[in-house]
Structure 1
Amino acid sequence: MDDILFSRRRAERFAQLLDEANGARRHHVRSRVDAQLAPLVAVGQRLSVDPPAVEVNPEFRTGLRAMLLATAEREGLGTAPAASEAATTTTRGRLLPAVTARRARARGAILVGIAAGAIAVSGISAASENAVPGDALYGMKRSTERAQLALASSDISRGQLFLDFARTRLGEAAKMRGDRIGYSAVLDDMDADTRQGVRLLTSAAVQRAEPGSLDTLNTFVASQRRAVSGLLDGSTRADRERTQRSLLLLDDIRERSDSLRAAIACGLPAPTTSDTLGPDPKACPGSR
């Protein structure tokens, strides 16, 4: 509770300092966190005076708008009170301390700050697209991926995103060949993203009893296998051995996809067992 209260007071004080920096009336009370917040206030001033010129990805803009609208709705920002509540609100408003109004303004300022900050960060995100492990912007690249997952609307969308990330890891691996540790680590991440995506898509196929998600999976496996096989050319023995493990995983995924497709076609009940690739079906009666 103390941490929550302290964080809220910091947010309120940050909103006050931003107001003061932009010409609002200065508060005589000073806080012990002012020194800590000063660098952030300076950044806020620079952003307001000279906002960065960035192009926002349309998908990012759509996702951000949806997130902000959901937050505004949850917080009750911008909604008028019902007629039955108007009188109560008016009476209560005269009794509330002035700090309540400041908190409301602080909440709005924080929401706007999140939007402005997210849009500014999107420019850095675009610059990080070609980053590889060890680059300064690689952490931003992975954070952007996590944000995409958070904004995904369904398990199928998340599954497809994980497969996209696996393709991205493959491109990074191509640049890391010769660095045995770095190359192996990137392929580990690629295989982890692949398994996550496969598990989501195979689970969706079983839940819906239709193979549409498996078609997506098979397309991915075919293209990804060709690309991963290309890493074998001119690679060291250690890199080849590690690459073969990723190829075996793709073969296992295709086999699982075919088994699930057959199980759906012959009307088997949903599998009760699963593993890292999702549901593990039984063979159809009469099949070898």
Structure 2
Amino acid sequence: MATQLPLGPQDLAAISETDDGTKAFAPDLAYRRLSIVNVIFYGKPSGNGEWVLIDAGLPTSESTIVECAENRFGENTRPAAIVMTHGHFDHVGSLESLSRRWDVPVYAHSLELPYLRGEASYPPADPPVGGGAIALLSPLFPRSPVDVGTRLKALPEDGSVPGMPGWKWLHTPGHAPGHISLWRDSDRTLIAGDAIVTTGQESVYEVLTQEAEMHGPPRYLTPDWESAEQSVRLLAALEPDLIISGHGKPVQGAHMRATLHRLAAEFGEIAVPQGRHYDRNPAKPGKSGNDVYR
């Protein structure tokens, strides 16, 4: 059983919650938890209406995402872009319908494109890794790709993020071959995706209670632990002050950073499910991004 790295109340970012359940944790950042996953809204509510959606939740999430966006940015609003941290089922569930509804570009890392244009499926889940019901049910989770057609674009090679000035994307593979995190150096804010998560994602109890803990990526859907470790070390080296991940609450501060550094330093003992299939045999993509994952 992997070691837990608990975070305390002092590590939680201050948030303000609206009636629709959207939680703002910075002047231009808010998130909405949709069952087991977060979607993130970038943009100031009092601004000129320019905003970006980061990830797209579950198949049942479309109406909630639209409602939250209109409450935050105005009626009939649409984003400048949708930016995907990766293409797992809980992040792309409403992507096809939202991209059609808004007719906006969808950006992802080039290695993630096969899973967003209907060409490749992810590898099988590894259900015994987490010791919880969600991990055991993970073989039932969809692995098939979505297809957003011509709206799909590769993120710019210069590291910039369309619609998000001052941010850059970082390639943080392991949980998925084209997984990215988003970084703003000016205030040291990190949108981590699932490269790290701030609650235990394998257990129904932990998902429901959302107790703050520092974790590596969800174990049951992480096929390449070698790359995942390198990604966590990269993120720890940034010395972030504020982190929002794909699962869990936003966290901040010096103790949070110390906990992240411990995760990076002891990743093999804390995060990796010892002796499991993908611990012994990482599943890595070929040059096309989809050779191994069909």
TM-score (norm 1): 0.28
The structure in which a higher percent of residues are strand is 2
Bigger radius of gyration among the two: 1
TM-score (norm 2): 0.27
